[in-house]
Amino acid sequence: MIKVSGFTINLFRVKANRLSVEVGYINLQDNFKINATIHNLEHKYKCIAGPQYSSYRGLEPGVYFVCNEYEILTSDNIEYSFKAVNSSSYVMKYLVLKAIVRKVQELGSEGKLFLPRNWFAYSQITCCESEALEYSEPYKLFALRPCLILRVEHLLVRDEDRLYLLADLKLKRFNSLTLSNIVKILMEKGYDIPRVNELLRAHYYTCIDKENKVSCRVNKVEDDKVEVIIGNERRSLSANDVVLNPHPKHTRDFIEKELSEKISEVEELQRDLGRQRPKHKIDSIKNYVEKLLKETGVFPIRLSNVEYTLELSPQIIFPRGGKVR
């Protein structure tokens, strides 16, 4: 028998300790109503819910969900039933993903994981190591962090339903370019307020105004307050709520020359660490999956009567036929 070599990919098996899981079910056919019901269950009743838009492998269209207190739904006259479905079925990929989201969010609020802005969107989670791998010098305005990008996928393997975690690893650069930090550095360098205001006006900023992030221009700085222009309106905001956009070339020059922050060294390190051979990349992904998802307690995950665990061995894919006799 001749063995056919395979190649390792960044898929990690999510295994259930039971063949079936008990979930709530609401029979709906319309996609809009399915989405609206999921939103209501998750935001009003704190359930975890997923859509099934058409019949597939024994799953009927509708909403499948898990709640801590089903009695509240009953008291609010929401009609539902219970179903026992395959614990690795297609719809469970949504519920497992959202259970991961809840745990990741909790660990982020505790400081055990670092969550970037827009860390969860379109069925994708981004979570990063709480400790930075490297900081820029001398003011630590930029930080490099290893970040996992995660999705839950459903695959059929020899007609068996399976769930997998698709994990990728990126070294992402984050900054702390709040106007309060920038003004402090410029003042320490001996610039007076008129010169500080002159330097700050040439750049683009993001302002947090009434909890919304919007583009703005800086008009002038006064103590810990900043007068900004949003559209055609002037606002006074905290210097902590105004963040410099570092991407334009003239802003990059300002950071390196006026602030003396060595952003180029951080970028070079980011490029060097990003050039990994495939095997080393898979090994790195595995190590961070273990560190960020298992050691922190994201896994195991409990949904209804089923516990989901994560296998740390990345999957090996063989060519068609697998083995040649």
Helices (H), 79-225: 92-109, 179-188, 193-200
pLDDT score, position 320: 62
**CA-to-CA distance for 103 and 101, rounded, in angstroms?**
6
DSSP string, 202-219: TS-EEEEETTEEEEEEEE
Instruction: Tell me the average confidence (pLDDT) per consecutive run of 10 residues in the chain, 325 residues long.
Output: 69 97 97 97 96 95 96 94 97 98 97 94 94 93 95 94 96 94 94 93 88 87 87 90 93 94 86 77 94 97 97 83 39
Residues 213 and 206: beta-carbon distance below 8 Å: yes
**CA-to-CA distance for 71 and 69, rounded, in angstroms?**
5
**Encoding tokens for residue 42?**
């998750």
Residues 12 and 165: beta-carbon distance below 8 Å: yes
pLDDT score, position 44: 95
Residue 293 DSSP label: I
**CA-to-CA distance for 237 and 187, rounded, in angstroms?**
19
CATH of 179-245, one of 2.30.30, 3.40.50, 2.20.25, 3.30.2320: 2.30.30
pLDDT score, position 5: 65
Domain ranges of the chain: 19-86, 93-174+269-312, 179-245
pLDDT score, position 275: 75
